[in-house]
Amino acid sequence: MGSSSLLDVIGSLLTGGLLLLIALRLNMSTIETRQTYGYNYKNQTNLTTLVMMIEDDFARIAYCKNPANLAVNPSAQAIRVCDSTRFRYRTDIGDNGSVDSIEYSIGSTPDLTETENPGDYYLIKRVWNNGVLSQQNWNLGVTKFRFDYFRSGGSTTRPMSFPIVSTVPGNTPQNVGLMRLSIILESPEKPKEQFLGDTSQYQVFWKQVRVTSKNLAFR
Amino acid sequence: MLTVGALVLLGATILSVNSNTLQNGVILRQTEIGVYAIALATSYIQTAAELNFDEKTVLTPIPALASDGSKLVPIDTIKLRKLLTPYDSLGRNGVGEIANVDSTFDDFDDFNGFAKTDTAKGEDVFTTLATVYYVDTLGVIAPASQTPTFFKRMDIRTFGTVGRGVYEGGASQGLDTIKLSYIFSYYR
């Protein structure tokens, strides 16, 4: 084998190796990008579906097919619990005239231990339908689920202070006219390898909406 | 020659894969911005829906029934409508209401002519515009009415500085604008 052939072989090996490295890098990059986009897409669909469901549910706060069942003053009876991470209200599930309740909440500490993300919670929806309690725990990657409440006819920028309970005059659930819900969803894992040492690099998606119900007050 | 050809093919494939990946990223980003714009528009609608129906109903509700001896009878709707703000005066008309400061508004139609810019940190700057007018409920589409009715419609438009259209120049052509409408009724 002459020196020219040897150079050809070495050159081919180098070129082949280079191409292989490029192909491997491309493959890795594609996988990472797909994972990042996948988390982003999942967060977006989770969040929009969740907000649609909440808006649909909250539009029926204080609704009852038979209003007499909700006592004389609907707003006084409709909202039962107003906390920063828990909200329970009365409504009529199934439009059958019975007074039912729905509660949305998250735990006091992050309780979704199945994921790598240390800050995510189960989103809990409890439903009391005709006196029967059912509970659903959703793994949507919720890391923030905070309610702020605004006084009916009052400031729309300064929320009511906590606690909002019936024993604090002027700061009771029946004073609530508008709610602001801030939601943050994060990916269960870090989408890119280089983020492994960085605690902040989860895929984050947030949304803040204001919701009210026609039945809360007659204006 | 073969090597050069192979390199050209590989280069073209890599460019194509990169281009597709970037396009996917752009579309995801655009939908993300769209979600923020919709959240902003619906929040203004919900804020307005929590206010009073009209400046004239802030302090004194307009009853639909009147006492006639021992019974309650419906009041003539035409008379009731005349108690509301005329259609050409819809907008800020109360004491202390500041233009484009929604926290000072006390009734639904104060949002007529509303224009505000909000910054979603790390996302975009959004501009929201709103118009409010009376509508008739006779038609399916609820046409605008030049006489007061007990239904007001808010049309709200929100757009950012980043185009959400997949076409070039989407923002400049207004293709990124979110348009939502809401009809608010006095009697429920």
DSSP B110-146: GGTTEEEEEEETTTEEEEEEEEEEEB-SSSTT--B-S
If we measure between CA atoms, which residue out of A184, A33, A195, A49 comes closest to residue A116?
A195
- What's residue A107's pLDDT? 85
Which of chain B's residues have a Cβ under 8 Å away from the Cβ of A211?
Answer: 46
Contact A205 B61 (CB under 8 A): no
Residue B135 bridge partners (DSSP) = B144
- pLDDT tens digits for range A111-135: 888 888 888 899 999 999 988 999 9
Which of B17, B19, B20, B46 should we substitute to test contact with A (largest number of A Cβ atoms within 10 Å)? B46
What is the pLDDT averaged over residues A207-217?
73
* HEC secondary structure over B31-93: HHHHHHHHHHHHHHHHHHHCCECCHHHCCCCCCCEEEECCEEEECCHHHHHCCCCCHHHCCCC
- Return the domain boundaries, chain A: 51-216
- What's residue B14's pLDDT? 85
Which of chain B's residues have a Cβ under 8 Å away from the Cβ of A208?
Answer: 39, 43
Show the beta-strand stretches assigned E in A18-158. Answer: 79-82, 86-91, 100-106, 121-129, 132-151
- What's residue A219's pLDDT? 39
According to DSSP H, which parts of A59-177 are helical?
Answer: 74-78
| Count of other CB atoms within 10 angstroms of residue A42 | 17
Nearest Cα of chain B lies from the Cα of A34 at a distance, in angstroms, of: 8
Which of chain B's residues have a Cβ under 8 Å away from the Cβ of A157?
Answer: 103
Reported confidence tier of residue A202, pLDDT bands at 50, 70, 90 = low
In angstroms, rounded to a whole number, what is the distance separating the alpha carbons of residues B104 and B47? Answer: 12
A-to-B residue pairs, Cβ atoms closer than 8 angstroms? 72
How many C-alpha atoms does B121 have within 13 Å on its Cβ side?
3
- pLDDT tens digits for range A25-42: 888 888 888 888 888 888
In angstroms, rounded to a whole number, what is the distance separating the alpha carbons of residues B110 and B153? Answer: 12
Give yes or no for B61 touching A (CB within 8 A).
yes
- What's residue A34's pLDDT? 84
- What's residue A80's pLDDT? 87
- What's residue B165's pLDDT? 58
Q: ipTM of the assembly?
A: 0.71
- pLDDT tens digits for range B83-104: 888 888 898 887 888 888 888 8
The H or E element that residue A178 is part of is strand A176-186
Contact B47 A156 (CB under 8 A): yes
Q: How many domains does chain B have?
A: 1
Contact A215 B103 (CB under 8 A): no
In angstroms, rounded to a whole number, what is the distance separating the alpha carbons of residues B47 and B164? Answer: 26
- What's residue B117's pLDDT? 92
Residue B97 bridge partners (DSSP) = none
pTM of the model: 0.78
Q: Which domain holds residue B175?
A: 2-185
Which of chain A's residues have a Cβ under 8 Å away from the Cβ of B22?
Answer: none
Residue B129 bridge partners (DSSP) = B115, B157
Contact A33 B25 (CB under 8 A): yes
Contact B46 A47 (CB under 8 A): no
If we measure between CA atoms, which residue out of B164, B161, B157, B153 comes closest to residue B179?
B157
Give me the residues of chain B with pLDDT under 70, please. 138-140, 163-175, 188
**CB interface of A with B, residues 138-167, below 8 Å:** 150, 152-153, 155-157
DSSP character for B100?
T
Helix, strand, or coil here: A124?
strand
Nearest to A210 among B17, B25, B46 (CB): B46
